[in-house]
Structures are given as structure tokens and as C-alpha cells.
Amino acid sequence: MSADYWLNRWKNNDIGFHESRVNPYLDRYFTNLKIPQNGRVFVPLCGKTNDIAWLLEQNIQVVGVELCESAIKQLFGSLNVTPTVTVHDKFKLYSADNLAIWVGDIFALTANLLGSVDVIYDRGSLVALPFTLRKKYSRHVVMITQKAPQLLICCVYDQSKRDGTPYSISAQEVFDHYHHAYSLQLIRCEAIANGVKGVVPANIVVWQLNKKD
């Protein structure tokens, strides 16, 4: 899956993955992570998610990374905020007040550029990547965040019945990717009423990943 794939989807407004409302599991479970006052959350592959507005309303600093610049322009537009835009090697940085978004390839994002983060919110990242990239992604995120705790939202269904995103992520795969760095807690599993793009049954699964001592 190339960068052009995602850039073309944004160009063609083929963004069914974008939720028109705040994700209900964010509202319900984010406090489980016990982020400190004025803490900083990392939202990888963030797009223009409305979840960022919700996080900012909680007086939380948000840092994200996104490949598509037009998505970030739309994000700041939806927030009615004019960003400062600076160039840093392979990235553009869109920033304003408590929000900073790196525009570029997540695999080129370094710990130094990202800065310290308290928690990670992954609603649409792991499920957006094909199997061949998910291990690389998970290890990279663990490394650049120094094992920051995560709220991870996945879906599970019979992947053989369809191809494409959101990909099904089994409990075994979550364990394989993250058990070396985290203790894993399954905090929610419930049926998706109409399945995933017609594939039924399908479940939403919410994980809390806590850094191992």
C-alpha cells in the first residue's frame, strides 16, 4: 500500500474511514489512561478526525502525524484555527496553541521531532495498514513514544470475506505486536450492528496498553 493510495483517497474524497462524530470509545475510556493535567497525546495517522477537537476540549495537548496535507488543512479549518506552518526536513509542521501536526511519512518521524508524549490514541492507524506494515508500524510507534500507554481501537471479522481497510486485527496479533512492551487489557468487545462493509459478524475491540515495569 503506497503513499499515493492514501493521497488519492483524500483527493477523491473516498474517506469512509472518517467519522462524522467523536468516537464514543474515546469519550468512554480515555480517562482510563490517567493522563496528567495538560498532558500530551499522540494521534498517529490522524487525518481530520473530530476526536482531536474533543481532546483539545479536555485541556490536553495533541500531537499528530498525517501523510495528507489537505486533510490537515481541513482539520484546522474545522477548528477555526489558523496554524503556523514551518518546514523541518521531510516534514511540514502545522501548529497552533495546544495542537501540532507533522505532515509526512510516519516512518520518518523521529522521537526528537515528536517530543515527549504521555499517551497514544490509536483509533484508525493499525487497522489502516496491511499486515506487512503493521509490525513495522507498531515497533516504530513504541520506539518513538518510549512505550507511552495506548488506547487502541480495532475491529475483528472474517478478513477472507473482503479485502481492504479497516483490516481485521485479532487478539493474537495485538499480543504479537505489543506484548514485549506492554501489559494488555481488553476493556471492550461488542458487535458492530451492520458489520464491516457488509461482513457480519464483526466486533469493535478496545484495548488498553500499559507500559510494563
Residues placed in the known binding site for S-adenosyl-L-methionine: 10, 45, 66, 123
Per the annotation, binding residues are 10, 45, 66, 123
Distance CA 125, CA 138 (A): 10
In whole angstroms, what is the distance from residue 151 CA to residue 119 CA? 8
| Residues 112-125 pLDDT 10s | 999 999 999 999 99
Q: What domain range is 86 assigned to?
A: 3-211
Give residue-wise pLDDT tens across range 143-176: 999 999 999 999 999 999 998 899 999 999 999 9
Residues whose CB is less than 8 angstroms from the CB of residue 211 and which lie 6 or more positions away in sequence, other chains included: 147, 148, 149, 181, 182
Cell of 91: 516534514
- In the structure, what pLDDT confidence band is assigned to residue 12 with cuts at 50, 70 and 90? low
Query: 523521529: which residue's cell?
Result: 110
Q: How many domains does the chain have?
A: 1
CATH code of the domain in which 21 resides? 3.40.50.150
How many C-alpha atoms does 205 have within 13 Å on its Cβ side?
23
